[in-house]
Amino acid sequence: MCGRYGFIHSPEDLEQAWGSLRIGGDFPPSYNRAPGQMHPVVRQAPDLSLELVPMRWGFVPHWGAQSKVLPINARAESITLLPLFREAFRSRRALIPADWFYEWAFDPDDPAVKQPMLLRARDHHILALAGIWDRHRRADGREEETFAILTVPALPAVAQIHGRMPLVLDPRHWPLWWHPHARRVQLEPCLQPADFPWETFPVSPRVNSTRYDAPEAALPWDGGMPD
């Protein structure tokens, strides 16, 4: 699964890396992005341009605004089988920019302890996490947009830490991902995660707290007591 990630680049940096974007808001950097918070998401606008917009992490379908379940992930293998995600996958696909994501590995000496690990591209390029989004009306009458990140079985470089990983989309597949009429069978190539050299290392246990958001969250941890 993917339950925490970091993205610290500016919208201008993202535009330089990914191409022209309509920027719709302010997007402060965050080293430890968590569910329930607002995060930058790239989606295709009705005129087929791409726009960067804020959305809340925790998927709510337009027909289920009162739902108590706010899934943060959707399995790519079953996404078209579940009514909760099916319509969004068909017509509201998105990319979530990330510099890295976190997973928690079990300590072989103490299975009750989970060690947070940071995973990112070795060359530190911005990752494009595949997502879906939807818009619903809140109880107070305001409209809100939310998203979930697709997950797939982990690549060998990641599987030693966790059995699943976010679907990192290969840039070659982006035009197909954005195609407004693409169907599941046509999107199959997109559901294979991009493979490139990965870098992984343990980080401070302070990352366990969603309130911890500091540059040190992305630094290797030496195993000492956190400050």
Residues 104-158: pLDDT tens digits?
A: 997 767 777 789 999 999 999 999 999 999 999 988 889 999 999 999 999 998 9
User: b or e along 150-167 (b: 16 or more beta carbons within 10 Å of the residue's beta carbon)?
Assistant: bbbebeebbeebbebbbb
Burial grade of 108 (CB within 10 A; 0-12, 13-18, 19 or more): exposed
| Mean per-residue pLDDT over the chain, rounded | 93
User: b or e along 46-69 (b: 16 or more beta carbons within 10 Å of the residue's beta carbon)?
Assistant: eeeebbbbebbbbbbbeeebeeee
What's the confidence (pLDDT) of residue 63?
87
Q: Stretch 36-54: mean pLDDT, rounded?
A: 96
pTM of the prediction?
Answer: 0.95
What's the confidence (pLDDT) of residue 224?
65
3-class secondary structure, 175: helix
* Percentage with pLDDT > 90 across the chain: 83
Q: Is the dihedral of CA 119, 219, 204, 212 positive or negative?
A: negative
At position 152, the amino acid (one-letter code) is V
- 170 confidence band (pLDDT: 50, 70, 90): very high
